[in-house]
Amino acid sequence: MTLDELLAIARQLEQDGLAEIERAGDAPALESVRAGLLGRKSGRLNDVMKALPALGSDDRRVAGAEVNRVKGALESALEARKGALAPRAAGPRIDPTMPARRQWRGSRHPVTLVIDEIVAIFRELGFTVALGPEAEHEWYNFGALNFPPDHPAMDAHDTLYLGEGALLRTHTSPVQVRALQRHPPPVRILVPGNVYRRDVFDPSHAPMFAQLEGLAVDENVTFADLKATLTRFATRFFGAAKTRFRPSYFPFTEPSAELDIACQVCGGTGCAVCKQTGWVEILGCGMVHPRVLESAGLDAERYTGWAFGMGPARVAVNRYRLPNIRLLYDSDVRFLEQFAR
Ligand code: PHE
């Protein structure tokens, strides 16, 4: 065999060998490829090496170097293929160069935050939290609260009736009567809860919304207590914001009023939230009507009281200077997660 022939055989072996290594589909197949190429007895490279002694010494050196190079190339290809075929380590494979996934943080809804904060302020004044049912008797929702039988709010247009004298409460005021029936005065309670009205969803109305009711009943309670307590609450909650009471009407309070605060979104200069008036109504209030006290079985000559009903969503709009009340109902996580603490 001439040197050229031997070199040609060695290079052919290299080419064929690399292709066989690449084709080996699993570890046993790769092992038999290795034995066929480099095995001590039957390896094809061995056959080539056996031809070396027959060459002249110069040719032998050239051929020997080439055979070694081919051997090295095949060995490293075998090693690489072995790594590629190695079974993956058990458990998840971790790529430490991946950026970490952002932590998901839940948060309280802004309306809940507002309710909690208001409850905390009134708690300092001796108020505790009371709850009542959302599915309510007509009598508690209307009759006990001195609504005349023909009052427009009792119309099916505003109220979601459940049948058999039951309805979804349209306000939290029925809990006034429930609380007074169960606990003799002095009573000082706050009632957070959802209420329902047959309104279509628009920028300023929702068919379900939260209310926060307040009630204080005792001997010698006067309108001065109402005014002092609610003014103190407003300054505690809104800081130095200006407030004003306006006369109003509710069947279950007499006299009745509404409490406005200077719009916190525009600072009182006029914007879409305050409908350009500079003022935002945050609650209705008044002295509990004697007929309501009597509905609950109390002596209206002995006891007097005051009550208020607030819309915490409205308050949240002002507290957080939200451009639109709908943000509170859209459940957009990008908005809500800003309230995570
Ligand atoms: N219940 C009234 C409403 O839904 C609010 C209110 C409560 C007014 C208590 C006076 C006293 O609008």
Cα–Cα distance measured from residue 260 to residue 279, given in angstroms and rounded to the nearest whole number:
6
Question: Above 90 in pLDDT, residue 301?
Answer: yes
Cα–Cα distance measured from residue 286 to residue 308, given in angstroms and rounded to the nearest whole number:
7
Both tokens assigned to 186: 């002095």
Over residues 85-114, the mean pLDDT reads: 82
* 287 alpha carbon – ligand 1 mean position (Å): 11
Question: Above 80 in pLDDT, residue 273?
Answer: no
Strand-by-strand arrangement of the 187-196 sheet: 128-129, 187-196, 208-218, 304-310, 279-288, 253-262, 243-250
Choose which residue among 171, 197, 248 to substitute to test ligand 1 binding: the one with the highest number of ligand atoms within 8 A of its C-beta: 171
pLDDT tens-digit readout, 24-69: 888 888 888 888 888 887 888 888 888 888 888 888 888 888 888 8
Q: What is the pLDDT of residue 203?
A: 61
Q: Whose CA is nearest to atom 9 of ligand 1?
A: 308
- Closest ligand 1 atom to the C-alpha of 214? 9
- Closest ligand 1 atom to the C-alpha of 310? 5
Closest C-alpha among 285, 320, 324, 321 to residue 305: 285
Count of helices and strands (H, E) across the chain: 11, 10
pLDDT tens-digit readout, 108-131: 999 999 999 999 999 999 999 999
Q: What is the pLDDT of residue 90?
A: 66
Helix (H) or strand (E) holding 312: helix 312-319
DSSP state of 285: E
Q: What average pLDDT does the structure give for the chain?
A: 89
Which segment, 15-19, 126-130, 201-205, is predicted with the most confidence on average?
126-130
Q: What is the pLDDT of residue 89?
A: 61
Q: What is the pLDDT of residue 248?
A: 96
Residues at CB less than 6 angstroms from ligand 1? 171, 173, 213, 250, 253, 284-286, 307-309
Radius of gyration, CA atoms only, the chain = 42
- Closest ligand 1 atom to the C-alpha of 195? 4
Q: What is the pLDDT of residue 63?
A: 85
Both tokens assigned to 335: 């908005």
Q: What is the pLDDT of residue 204?
A: 63
Question: What Cα–Cα distance (Å) separates residue 3 from each residue in 43, 65, 71, 137, 230?
Answer: 20, 12, 18, 109, 109
Residue 109 burial (C-beta neighbours within 10 Å; 0-12, 13-18, 19+): middle
Closest C-alpha among 320, 327, 317 to residue 281: 317
Q: What is the pLDDT of residue 188?
A: 98
Cα–Cα distance measured from residue 161 to residue 164, given in angstroms and rounded to the nearest whole number:
9
Over residues 170-180, the mean pLDDT reads: 97
Q: What is the pLDDT of residue 8?
A: 87
Over residues 176-185, the mean pLDDT reads: 96
Question: Above 80 in pLDDT, residue 270?
Answer: yes
Least confident span in 95-104, 190-199, 299-308, 329-338: 95-104
* 198 alpha carbon – ligand 1 mean position (Å): 17
Question: Above 90 in pLDDT, residue 166?
Answer: yes
